Chains A and B, each alone.
Chain A
């Protein structure tokens, strides 16, 4: 082997990256070659200089400050974003459920009213107008008496006399009461 072939091995030899058998061969060559020896010494010296270019101790930010800044931009930001992302979802979800609930409530009220309505109709069907619920109130009966009055004539007269006493003169209703009084007394 010539110097030209040994030179490329010098770097790896200086780095301890050269296979043992090649290292032995190079060492044999170095023992008798000044040029290659100078090359190796230069590399070793340069490596030592560079290796001693130690990392700086003084930093603007401490280890903890830097860690916190990184975590704030990654892990914490991520969970914060997830929360922010979830919030609208939850809002949409709650709005949606609220809409569903009110729709359901409206439906229930409608159903109840339908049931009540039909039951009213059924009730009306089962209870013909003759039954007391559809009977006019006593005063209505007094004004428009039907064929089967609930009150006797004397009771009605008492009622009207009472009305005449409490209704002040000039009132429109007084006239109809007087008219009714006259009708009952005649």
Chain B
């Protein structure tokens, strides 16, 4: 039977290095994805992944309950991503269109088979969403990324941010309203 995350975390906290390797294997893609959504490029996402696991290894004593490992690692990853984002913001364009834009994004809305024009429209739509996301304040943006893109629960996000679930709900609500507004304006203007 495959070991559960709390079981692996327990072993990791007991100093078992192969349990740490197992956690790297299980969480690497998730952390990479979150970092990529926040930073928008592969180079920084790679850095976040490595730094996050190094910090998890060093700070494992801070994890008091194995059940909160996901929030623990997410908090480290998002904090580092935001630090990196602030550092980068003055220097480079955050989104690298050639890599982050949706050559590999598939929008499957109402129609089952996307026609070329649908595909083009979806790409444009996605572009607008990314730009709209970037306009949000950090907490709202982070909440939208973690909940609506990465699929974490409100409870997990609350644990990650160290805030009540009500705050997560309100951040998410504000973020969605702003995104809807921005999208509506842009799409109507262009259509």
Q: Interface residues, chain A, CB within 8 Å of chain B?
A: 8, 11-12, 15, 17, 42-43, 45-61, 63, 66-67, 69-71, 73-75, 78
Contacts and interface: CB of A to CB of B under 8 A. Distances in A.
Q: Majority SS of interface residues in chain A?
A: helix
A55 B107 contact: no
B169 A12 contact: yes
Given A59-B32, A67-B28, A75-B17, A52 B105 contact: yes
The list of the 10 closest CB pairs from A to B, nearest first, reads A55-B33, A50-B148, A74-B57, A75-B17, A70-B53, A60-B42, A42-B180, A73-B54, A50-B149, A52-B107
Contacts of A48: 107, 109
Interface of B: 17, 20-21, 24-25, 28-29, 32-33, 36-37, 42-43, 45-46, 49-50, 53-54, 57-58, 99-100, 102, 104-109, 125-126, 129-130, 144, 147-149, 151, 154, 169, 172-173, 176, 179-180, 183-184
A55 B154 CA distance: 20
Contacts of B33: 55-56
Contacts of A63: 28-29
A26 to B, nearest CB: 15
Contacts of A67: 21, 24-25, 28
A53 B126 contact: yes
A8 B176 CA distance: 12
Given A60-B43, A70-B50, A75-B20, A46 B169 contact: no
A43 B180 contact: yes
Nearest to B181: A42
B17 A49 contact: no
Nearest to A70: B53
Nearest to A17: B154
Given A12-B169, A50-B144, A63-B28, A74 B20 contact: yes
B46 A55 contact: no
A69 to B, nearest CB: 6
Contacts of A58: 42, 99, 104
Contacts of A59: 32, 42, 45-46
Contact of B129 (A49, A54, A55): A49
- Which of A51, A55, A59, A67 has most chain B Cβ within 10 Å? A55
A83 B126 CA distance: 52
A11 B176 contact: yes
Given A54-B106, A75-B20, A49 B169 contact: no
A76 to B, nearest CB: 9
7 contacts: A46-B179, A49-B129, A53-B126, A54-B106, A56-B33, A56-B42, A67-B28
Nearest to A57: B104
A11 B151 CA distance: 14
Given A42-B184, A56-B33, A66-B32, 17 more contacts: A11-B173, A15-B154, A43-B180, A51-B149, A52-B126, A53-B102, A55-B32, A55-B36, A56-B99, A56-B100, A56-B104, A58-B42, A59-B45, A67-B21, A67-B24, A74-B20, A78-B57
B112 to A, nearest CB: 14
B42 A11 contact: no
